[in-house]
């Protein structure tokens, strides 16, 4: 019998002295372990089929005839001990047949993972590279080896496999997971600032990432892309307020916004972005303030007051320049005169602007909490938006219809309901307009004056029952008007515009 085999048998025999422990040796070398140790089952009061499995461990046995406490282990065996989620132990039989043990856990686990990493980065084969291990006096076993191993396993916690997996996955990353490099293409200082201020999106860039563990970088990057893009979502550095003044006979309009900043390396003055979408003011250290009105993402919802800014600027720019004042922390940061040129889709701009103006007038009657709305929300409700704007427009409304029905003359007023249905909101106004002219000839010609919103209903997340409720309320409203005067009931204004 070889000395190593005798050492294995000694450890095996000692383990089996511990209650219920079974230790077996493989028929051939199994990646460095010499013994597979199964411990006695824990006491369990539940159903037999629910009994948890036995705890177990793999053991590599070492021995010395000279009393030397040092030893060496192949990194291929070290790798097996580290990446396995099972408990691994080293037990050395000393010259006097005493035992010393090391649990592959904690500092030992980290040290061995680092050794594996270093060999891998340097291209050294693991099976021909060894790591030193020392069985000093602190590793002397004062109890049965199986009893010691079981105590070590239980010390880790109830789920050893999970704890070891987490320890292995976390080791070597205290300084991060690697190094990433982003290179922007053909970017001047202003373009660079626009990216970091969150104004420009999808800037062309190269990106590479090289994994680093235990401070050792991979020879080659794991990601090396030459066709990437960069979009940065910056964090505001403060808040600001926009005050807009256009027509002298209309009040100014104010809206709150955020301040973003970026200072180019080597520059003494920062770029600043004052943002209250869709209003944007970019202050360039060299070129002054630049005003923009833009909706970068049609899916992003904004509060209604921000959409009022869109409506005010659009309307006032048709007349002339607008005074813009930006303040932050009680100080005036910028004053300027601005004017926007209508974009090519000016009809869409007019529809949106008129629709927002109608919403603003309707909500003056009955202030209602309106959820933030996106450009896509308005686009999907564009037909209703046109009807809503027409139904609440300040200009007179002219009607002409045949005399196939007997209408009393003259009408005192006209009434109708006008609705705008967003995906998650239903708004309905009951409107009356005074009749300012009523002509009867072959056809009936009625001219209506400015609208008056009598009632406003708002329903979040509407369904069919809300439309039925609106109709019920409208019938009550129409009957109450009929008791006071002769009114032309146009009923559903949206349907009337559609010719229904």
- Cis link prior to 410 (omega < 30° from 0)? yes
Task: Indicate whether 346 belongs to any domain.
Answer: no
pLDDT digits 0-9 by tens, 14-26: 999 998 899 998 8
The structure tokens listed for 320 are 């002339």
Model pTM? 0.60
Does 204 share its domain with 320? no
Last residue in a domain, options 341, 363, 397: 341
Does 149 share its domain with 95? yes
Yes or no: say if 90 and 105 are a contact pair by the CB < 8 Å rule: no
Mean pLDDT across the stretch 36-59? 84
pLDDT digits 0-9 by tens, 128-176: 999 999 999 999 999 999 999 999 999 999 999 999 999 999 999 888 8
pLDDT of residue 406: 62
The helix or strand, by DSSP H or E, that contains position 442, with its residue range, turns out to be none
Does 275 share its domain with 316? yes
Unique residue bearing structure tokens 């919403």? 359
Rounded CA-CA distance 36/88 in Å is: 10
Does 193 share its domain with 245? no
Yes or no: say if 416 and 391 are a contact pair by the CB < 8 Å rule: yes
Task: Identify the CA nearest to 71 among candidates 25, 14, 7, 15.
Answer: 7
Task: Indicate whether 335 belongs to any domain.
Answer: yes
Residue 139: helix, strand or coil by DSSP?
helix
The whole-chain average pLDDT of the chain stands at: 89
Last residue in a domain, options 142, 170, 198: 170
Does 155 share its domain with 10? yes
The structure tokens listed for 154 are 């239980």
pLDDT of residue 285: 83
pLDDT digits 0-9 by tens, 240-293: 999 989 877 888 989 999 999 999 888 888 999 999 888 888 888 887 778 888
Last residue in a domain, options 295, 318, 341: 341
Task: Identify the CA nearest to 181 among candidates 200, 201, 214, 206.
Answer: 206
pLDDT of residue 453: 94
Task: Indicate whether 404 belongs to any domain.
Answer: yes
Does 254 share its domain with 183? no
pLDDT of residue 230: 83
Task: Identify the CA nearest to 410 among candidates 441, 385, 435.
Answer: 435
pLDDT of residue 9: 94
Rounded CA-CA distance 419/428 in Å is: 4
What pLDDT band is residue 344 in, cutting at 50, 70 and 90?
Answer: very low
pLDDT of residue 186: 66
Task: Identify the CA nearest to 370 among candidates 417, 418, 426.
Answer: 426
Could you tell me which residue, 465 or 250, shows the higher pLDDT? 465
Rounded CA-CA distance 348/336 in Å is: 27
Angle at 232 (CA atoms; ends 234, 174), nearest 5 degrees:
85
Considering the chain, what percentage of its residues have pLDDT values greater than 90? Answer: 55
pLDDT of residue 199: 84
Does 371 share its domain with 462? yes
Rounded CA-CA distance 52/290 in Å is: 70
Does 259 share its domain with 390? no
User: Domain of 226?
Assistant: 178-230
Mean pLDDT across the stretch 379-404? 89
Could you tell me which residue, 405 or 61, shows the higher pLDDT? 61
Residue 326 CA neighbour count, 13 Å, CB half = 25
What pLDDT band is residue 29 in, cutting at 50, 70 and 90?
Answer: low
Mean pLDDT across the stretch 423-430? 94
Q: Considering only 23-37, 164-178, 329-343, 427-441, which range has the smallest mean pLDDT?
A: 329-343
Unique residue bearing structure tokens 């439309």? 467
Does 8 share its domain with 133? yes
Does 365 share its domain with 310? no
Rounded CA-CA distance 62/119 in Å is: 23
**Residue 341 pLDDT > 70, yes or no?**
no
Rounded CA-CA distance 409/386 in Å is: 31
Rounded CA-CA distance 291/302 in Å is: 19
Mean pLDDT across the stretch 399-412? 75
pLDDT of residue 404: 63
Under the phi-then-psi rule, with left for phi > 0, alpha for psi from -120 to 50, and beta for the rest, what region is 284? beta
Which own/partner contact pairs does 264-272 have at CB distance under 8 Å and 24+ positions apart? 264/189, 264/192, 264/193, 267/189, 271/193, 271/197, 272/333
Yes or no: say if 416 and 390 are a contact pair by the CB < 8 Å rule: no
Task: Indicate whether 324 belongs to any domain.
Answer: yes
Q: Considering only 32-36, 104-108, 322-326, 337-341, which range has the smallest mean pLDDT?
A: 337-341
Task: Indicate whether 477 belongs to any domain.
Answer: yes
Task: Indicate whether 402 belongs to any domain.
Answer: yes
**CATH code, domain with 117:** 3.40.1350.10
What pLDDT band is residue 1 in, cutting at 50, 70 and 90?
Answer: low
pLDDT of residue 191: 83
Number of domains in the chain: 4
């Amino acid at each position: 019998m070889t000395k190593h085999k005798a050492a294995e048998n000694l450890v095996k025999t000692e383990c089996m002295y511990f209650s219920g422990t079974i230790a077996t040796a493989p028929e051939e070398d199994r990646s460095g372990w010499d013994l597979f140790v199964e411990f006695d089952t824990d006491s369990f009061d539940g159903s037999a089929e629910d009994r948890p499995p036995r705890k177990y461990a793999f053991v590599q046995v070492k021995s010395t005839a000279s009393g030397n406490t040092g030893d060496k282990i192949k990194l291929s065996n070290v790798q097996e001990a580290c990446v396995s989620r099972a408990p691994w132990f080293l037990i050395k039989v000393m010259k006097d047949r005493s035992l010393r043990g090391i649990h592959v856990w904690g500092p030992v686990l980290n040290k061995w993972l680092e050794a594996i990493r270093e060999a891998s980065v340097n291209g050294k084969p693991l099976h021909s590279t060894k790591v030193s291990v020392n069985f000093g006096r602190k590793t002397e076993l004062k109890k049965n080896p199986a009893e010691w191993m079981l105590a070590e396993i239980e010390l880790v916690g109830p789920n050893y496999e999970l704890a070891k997996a987490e320890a292995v996955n976390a080791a070597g990353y205290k300084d991060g997971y690697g190094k990433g490099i982003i290179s922007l293409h053909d970017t001047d200082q202003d373009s660079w600032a626009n990216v970091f201020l969150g104004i420009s999106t999808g800037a062309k860039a190269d990106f590479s990432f090289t994994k680093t563990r235990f401070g050792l970088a991979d020879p080659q990057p794991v990601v090396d892309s030459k066709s990437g893009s960069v979009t940065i979502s910056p964090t505001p550095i403060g808040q600001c307020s926009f005050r807009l003044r256009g027509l002298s006979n209309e009040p100014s309009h104010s809206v709150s916004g955020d301040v973003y900043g970026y200072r180019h390396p080597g520059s003494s003055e920062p770029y600043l972005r004052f943002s209250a979408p869709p209003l944007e003011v970019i202050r360039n250290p060299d070129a002054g303030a630049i005003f923009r009105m833009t909706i970068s993402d049609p899916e992003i919802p904004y509060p209604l007051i921000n959409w009022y800014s869109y409506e005010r600027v659009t309307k006032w720019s048709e007349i002339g320049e607008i005074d813009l004042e930006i303040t932050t922390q009680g100080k005036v940061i910028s004053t300027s005169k601005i004017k926007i040129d209508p974009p090519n889709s000016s009809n869409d701009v007019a529809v949106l602007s008129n629709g927002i103006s109608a919403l603003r007038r309707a909500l003056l009657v009955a202030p209602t909490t309106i959820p933030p709305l996106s450009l896509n929300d308005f686009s999907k409700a564009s037909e209703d938006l046109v009807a809503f704007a027409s139904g609440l427009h300040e200009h007179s409304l002219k009607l002409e219809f045949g005399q196939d029905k007997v209408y009393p003359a003259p009408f005192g007023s006209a009434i109708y309901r006008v609705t705008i249905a967003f995906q998650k909101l239903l708004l309905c106004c009951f409107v009356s307009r005074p009749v300012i002219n009523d002509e009867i000839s072959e056809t009936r010609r009625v001219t209506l004056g400015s609208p008056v919103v009598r009632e406003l209903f708002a329903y979040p997340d509407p369904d069919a029952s809300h439309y039925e409720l609106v109709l019920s309320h409208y019938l009550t409203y129409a009957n109450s008007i009929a008791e006071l005067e002769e009114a032309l009931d146009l009923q559903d204004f949206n349907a009337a515009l559609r010719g229904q």
